[in-house]
Chains A and B, each alone.
Chain A
Amino acid sequence: MTVESTAARTPRRSAGSKAGTTGTKRTTRTPAKKDAKSNEPQLVQLLTPEGKRVKNAEYDKYVAGITPDELRGLYRDMVLTRRFDAEATSLQRQGELGLWASLLGQEAAQIGSGRATREDDYVFPTYREHGVAWCRGVDPANLLGMFRGVNNGGWDPNSNNFQLYTIVIGSQTLHATGYAMGVAKDGADSAVIAYFGDGASSQGDVAESFTFSAVYNAPVVFFCQNNQWAISEPTEKQSRVPIYQRAQGFGFPGVRVDGNDVLGVLAVTRWALERARGGEGPTLVEAFTYRMGAHTTSDDPTRYRGDEERQAWEAKDPILRLRRYLEASNHADEGFFAELEAESEALGKRVREAVRAMPDPDHFAIFENAYADGHALVDEERAQFAAYQASFADEGGN
């Protein structure tokens, strides 16, 4: 049983398995061994790390009709996203970007969920949802403007129903909830999906978004990518219970899915989105995955985690497992993979060139869009700034 509902039979003891390691005294009622087991991922998985398709009575139907072409499409999405991500990391190292937040390792969580959304659905991302952005049709190059420092968000959210990246942790879950409340008021059957991470699960805004969405039965899916690390803090610093179980206390279901299994994520997210469309309210999906890289290019994970953990997750790689499945099922041949490799390189090149060609913004962009209807002080300061700049132009004549 993976879906936790308010009617779940046996409440789990919440004392975390790491209680012993953090110095908390164990009680006899919460033996460490049992807790350690309860903290193990009890996840929905349709594709094993070895690429074997496993049956799942509850979720199989959500991917039952999937065609080889669609499977290749998911594979292509993941490969191109990873390639784009690697290019961005390189661009940061070359000084073309100030910062990059890599999604390496989370491709299945993002592509599976992103491909589950419908065109009229609305996505509220964090700042790491490059794969979801890809699925929504946002030009990857546009994602890089804010990391280059030429803007704070370089795309029109309403063109692809993909909100701007939100840097303040968890804030967007409330925006998603409000948007979903609006969808319900409009009588539309669109759904809303809010992305956040294991660290954000501690934020009050996330708890409040759970409360509001439950009270108003808002058509929103809370998609938590538990990548195990909030910069340097492991998940047990955020929660004593598996994150998906939090939904139960708010009165809606939560489910944990193997976040490195694109098929599993696709199925579970489709289920959750259908619940939203059907008027059944919010759902929490916890995609259990791993941040293979650093938090951002400014981070140094060697200070807080060992390489063994990374190696263990490497064996669960989302792209590799789908490739194994495609090959074993004869759904893709060498030609497909070779073509994709070439497409990858072309994408990298295009993004690289687009970033290098991005001009610095005009100086007066500082003042633009501070307000929609204008503001007297902004006008005054813009004029002062212009006069100041013009004073250099005079000197330039010498």
Chain B
Amino acid sequence: MADKMALAKAINESLRRALESDPKVLIMGEDVGKLGGVFRVTDGLQKDFGESRVIDTPLAESGIVGTAIGLALRGYRPVVEIQFDGFVFPAYDQIVTQLAKMHARSLGKVKLPVVVRIPYGGGIGAVEHHSESPEALFAHVAGLKIVSPSNASDAYWMMQQAIQSDDPVIFFEPKRRYWDKGEVNAEAIPGPLHKARVVREGTDLTLAAYGPMVKLCQEVADAAAEEGKNLEVLDLRSVSPIDFDSIQASVEKTRRLVVVHEAPVFFGSGAEIAARITERSFYHLEAPVLRVGGYHAPYPPARLEEEYLPNLDRVLDAVDRSLAY
């Protein structure tokens, strides 16, 4: 039975289901309890599951992740919230040196099923440090898995799967899509967590995106269709691992690829995709893989973010450049 709900609500429902089905699941973070989180993603959970399971923490991100590691060592499955993308860096050390590596360090004896939720990305007119897309900084680290849903149904199911994962998962939530509604079928059987999905079939060019940029790419495809161009849109869903097989299959059909993300293009996930797809599909490509993303500059003040972020015209421009080859 499918219900229509906002993406934020879908995550809330998914967390609720996890808390109900597994007594070891904990929610931790700043303001996640009584307030329900600054985006209300954890709304009502503390009321229903108590302060012992939905934990308001001190304002110390390293402490949140570090204690979550300890709780995981004790057999818990903590889902921690970092309030905003730009606030994750005090925890970066714990994530990179401990969370990511303890399984390997222990030769597989220790598993750390910790989910780190990070609302990320721009487009909401926020102040500094509230609009960043740091996924590549985590994707570079072996031991972590990185996912980002684009819609309510994926948000629900990918959160279920992330919590069930015995590996640490960084769960990037597209905050500008929190209020977008979509169908969620809580009885469906979800596909694999790290598999990409074709959200629109096409023949002329592949647009690959994840998180907040999937919706944009669908709009781009609509606009391009009016000009007679038939674009395929791929929702990658996972940034580590990246489902290169699905990208390859799409590219070998369309022969052109444009990767879109909010994160800076330089050393971004698009760079990795471009390199790998060039290696895999060199003789199929009619054009170099193009990327549309943020610039190599600090995320700008809100009044400039529309110029910084990929938008319809910038992606269409890249589509045109690709098709011109």
Residues of A within 8 A of B (CB): 151-154, 156-158, 163-164, 166, 168, 171, 173-183, 185-186, 204-205, 208-209, 211-212, 215, 368-373, 375-378
The 8 Å CB contact of A174, one of B66, B101, B102, is B66
The 8 Å CB contact of A156, one of B102, B109, B242, B244, is B109
Determine how close the nearest CB of chain A comes to the CB of B44; give it in whole angstroms.
Answer: 21
Contact A186 B98 (CB under 8 A): no
What residue in chain A is nearest B243 (Cβ atoms)? A376
What residue in chain A is nearest B56 (Cβ atoms)? A215
Contact A175 B104 (CB under 8 A): no
**B153: CB under 8 A from chain A?**
no
The 8 Å CB contact of B145, one of A185, A209, A371, is A371
Contact A370 B106 (CB under 8 A): no
Contact A183 B74 (CB under 8 A): yes
Contact B107 A153 (CB under 8 A): yes
Chain B residues lying within 8 Å of A176, measured Cβ to Cβ, are 70
Chain A residues lying within 8 Å of B303, measured Cβ to Cβ, are none
**B241: CB under 8 A from chain A?**
yes
| Interface size, chain B (Cβ < 8 Å) | 47
Given A171-B97, A185-B52, A370-B143, 10 further pairs, Cβ under 8 A? A152-B101, A153-B107, A164-B110, A171-B93, A175-B70, A177-B66, A179-B74, A205-B93, A369-B107, A376-B242
The 8 Å CB contact of A151, one of B107, B240, B243, is B107
Contact B60 A212 (CB under 8 A): yes
A372 in contact with B66 given A152-B105, A171-B98, A178-B73 (CB within 8 Å): no
Determine how close the nearest CB of chain B comes to the CB of A344; give it in whole angstroms.
Answer: 30
Contact B108 A372 (CB under 8 A): yes
Contact A369 B103 (CB under 8 A): yes
What separation, in Å, do the CA atoms of A377 and B276 have in the docked complex? Answer: 11
Contact B106 A157 (CB under 8 A): yes
**B62: CB under 8 A from chain A?**
yes
**B68: CB under 8 A from chain A?**
yes
Chain B residues lying within 8 Å of A152, measured Cβ to Cβ, are 101, 104-105
**B142: CB under 8 A from chain A?**
yes
Within 8 A of A (CB), among B158-191: 165-167
Contact A215 B69 (CB under 8 A): no
What separation, in Å, do the CA atoms of A152 and B110 have in the docked complex? Answer: 13
Contact B70 A177 (CB under 8 A): yes
Within 8 A of A (CB), among B50-95: 52, 57-58, 60, 62-63, 65-76, 90, 93-94
Contact A373 B165 (CB under 8 A): yes
Determine how close the nearest CB of chain A comes to the CB of B273; give it in whole angstroms.
Answer: 12
Chain B residues lying within 8 Å of A368, measured Cβ to Cβ, are 104, 107-108
What residue in chain A is nearest B195 (Cβ atoms)? A376
Contact B108 A369 (CB under 8 A): yes
**B261: CB under 8 A from chain A?**
no
Determine how close the nearest CB of chain B comes to the CB of A155; give it in whole angstroms.
Answer: 8
**B256: CB under 8 A from chain A?**
no
A369 in contact with B104 given A205-B63, A212-B63 (CB within 8 Å): yes
Chain A residues lying within 8 Å of B110, measured Cβ to Cβ, are 157-158, 164
**B291: CB under 8 A from chain A?**
no
**B9: CB under 8 A from chain A?**
no
The 8 Å CB contact of B242, one of A163, A369, A377, is A377
What separation, in Å, do the CA atoms of A372 and B103 have in the docked complex? Answer: 7
What separation, in Å, do the CA atoms of A368 and B241 have in the docked complex? Answer: 16
Nearest 7 Cβ contacts at the A-B interface? A178-B70, A174-B66, A182-B74, A178-B67, A208-B63, A179-B70, A372-B166
Contact B108 A175 (CB under 8 A): no
Contact B94 A178 (CB under 8 A): no
Determine how close the nearest CB of chain B comes to the CB of A176; give it in whole angstroms.
Answer: 6
The 8 Å CB contact of B98, one of A175, A179, A369, is A175
Contact A375 B70 (CB under 8 A): no
Chain B residues lying within 8 Å of A173, measured Cβ to Cβ, are 66
**B237: CB under 8 A from chain A?**
no
The 8 Å CB contact of B109, one of A157, A204, A208, A371, is A157
**B194: CB under 8 A from chain A?**
yes
What separation, in Å, do the CA atoms of A378 and B97 have in the docked complex? Answer: 19
**B111: CB under 8 A from chain A?**
yes
What separation, in Å, do the CA atoms of A164 and B76 have in the docked complex? Answer: 19
What separation, in Å, do the CA atoms of A151 and B71 have in the docked complex? Answer: 25
The 8 Å CB contact of A175, one of B73, B106, B111, is B73
Chain A residues lying within 8 Å of B57, measured Cβ to Cβ, are 212
Most buried by B among A153, A211, A372, A376: A372
27 contacts between A and B (CB under 8 A): A156-B109, A157-B73, A157-B106, A164-B110, A168-B98, A174-B69, A175-B73, A177-B67, A177-B70, A178-B72, A204-B62, A205-B62, A208-B60, A209-B66, A211-B60, A211-B63, A212-B57, A212-B67, A369-B104, A370-B143, A371-B143, A373-B167, A375-B167, A376-B194, A376-B241, A376-B242, A376-B245
A164 in contact with B105 given A174-B94, A182-B71, A373-B167 (CB within 8 Å): yes
Contact B241 A377 (CB under 8 A): yes
What residue in chain B is nearest A361 (Cβ atoms)? B107
What separation, in Å, do the CA atoms of A377 and B194 have in the docked complex? Answer: 11
What residue in chain B is nearest A184 (Cβ atoms)? B52
What separation, in Å, do the CA atoms of A177 and B73 have in the docked complex? Answer: 11
What residue in chain B is nearest A192 (Cβ atoms)? B70
Contact B241 A375 (CB under 8 A): yes
Chain A residues lying within 8 Å of B244, measured Cβ to Cβ, are 376
Determine how close the nearest CB of chain A comes to the CB of B52; give it in whole angstroms.
Answer: 6
What separation, in Å, do the CA atoms of A371 and B69 have in the docked complex? Answer: 16
Determine how close the nearest CB of chain B comes to the CB of A249; give it in whole angstroms.
Answer: 14
Chain A residues lying within 8 Å of B241, measured Cβ to Cβ, are 375-377
A178 in contact with B165 given A152-B104, A208-B58 (CB within 8 Å): no
Determine how close the nearest CB of chain B comes to the CB of A109; give it in whole angstroms.
Answer: 23
What residue in chain A is nearest B101 (Cβ atoms)? A152
Determine how close the nearest CB of chain A comes to the CB of B281; give it in whole angstroms.
Answer: 15
Determine how close the nearest CB of chain B comes to the CB of A133; give it in whole angstroms.
Answer: 15
What separation, in Å, do the CA atoms of A173 and B67 have in the docked complex? Answer: 9
Chain A residues lying within 8 Å of B74, measured Cβ to Cβ, are 178-179, 181-183, 186
Chain A residues lying within 8 Å of B167, measured Cβ to Cβ, are 371-373, 375
Determine how close the nearest CB of chain B comes to the CB of A366; give it in whole angstroms.
Answer: 10
What residue in chain B is nearest A151 (Cβ atoms)? B107
A179 in contact with B71 given A371-B145, A377-B242 (CB within 8 Å): yes
Determine how close the nearest CB of chain A comes to the CB of B62; give it in whole angstroms.
Answer: 6
What residue in chain A is nearest B110 (Cβ atoms)? A157
Determine how close the nearest CB of chain A comes to the CB of B73; give it in whole angstroms.
Answer: 5
What separation, in Å, do the CA atoms of A151 and B165 have in the docked complex? Answer: 25
